[in-house]
Structure 1
Amino acid sequence: MTQDGRRLRGLRSREAILEQAVALASVEGLDGLSLGRLAAATGTSKSGFFAHWRDKEQLQLDAVEWAARQWTEHVVVPTLRAPAGVRRVFALHEARLRFYEDGVLPGGCFFFTVQAEFDDRPGAVRDRVARAMGEWLGFVRHQVEQAVALGELAGDVDPAQLAYEIDALGEMAVVHSRLHGGELSLLHARRAVLQRLRALCPDPALLPED
């Protein structure tokens, strides 16, 4: 029992540190993570960090994993409740915008920050960030492919192109909402994707009008 309790406390401590690491990295990037600052923010001793991570790179890699899990829980999973097809494609975009609007992370988006930080820096962290971003874009593309297969998007739609456009508008919402005021920027990002989907949908009534 004592060993199990110790393991559980260790797991909770690790998760608390990763949650704080992802929040800080959304503002300052992964290189901005300081063991001292994380220790102070989570009430963990510096020596406690070395029980979980052998070096800073492993902490960064685990932070990427945690951020991907957080994104799945907040954005991907709720979307799956929508019917497959064009409604799910739009629900995915709305879930993403809701993630930003709810202020889940102080910097808006972990992946937007760290992909700009590591895009020109070869190594394990860049590879893991690239894989996470590729998986996300692949998920969006798959939803578009399903909508085309169901006849809810025009047959000549290029799923990869449309997925890229949807993702780009989501990323732009992050930048503009931080610099120019969140509500209007998120509204524009929502409306842009909605209008694009309605124009490509044989039955626009499946989607909201505005």
Structure 2
Amino acid sequence: MDNFLSAAAADRLASHPAVADAARFTAYPLELDGIATLLSGTDLALMHARSDLPWVTPPREPAIWQAERNAGLALVSEAFVERFGKKPGDTLRLPTPSGVRPVVIAGVFADYGNERGSILVDRTHLKAWFADARVTNVSEGPGGLSWSPDGKQLAFAMFVPGEGKSFASMPAAPDGAKWAAKPIVIDRLNYRGDGQGYAEQGHTHV
């Protein structure tokens, strides 16, 4: 089941008298070169003005904050850089329902809650690429929603899947080789439940 907030519901939240601005966010699971990651979009200009991001490599191109000029630009997380071996200036080819969209990495931000890495673009273009105006579309449902005392912020907790760090790395399989499945390494006290099997690896973040 999809977990998302309709555009109409988002409009109602944004129109609340206590809400000065509403930064809408949409995310889709994505595969690049057969590796899972996350493609997300938000109002980059509003994000930059209101909160910004913890930067590893801040963007030097002012166009990244302007929706009319940033269709070919993206920000990526530090985990994405490490996982895919990319750097600012590299071009990514993003598969979308409307075709492959090339974007140039304009900056790198720190995000320690998503080990799969993430790509962030302006939501104006993401809506057009996916023909989708929903505010969120994530693999896990948010829970524990709570307004801040001043009514300006909404907090929630959500499970973020992630692979645990292995104590050893395996060499690549030779051409034509068919190796057995990777072993399951257990380093948690609660690792499975009756009727559900092994628990998915990851963490719950606020």
* TM-score band, normalised by shorter chain: under 0.3
TM-score w.r.t. length of structure 2: 0.25
> Going by fraction, where is strand more abundant, 1 or 2?
2
Q: TM-score, normalised by structure 1?
A: 0.25
User: Structure 1 or 2: larger helix share?
Assistant: 1
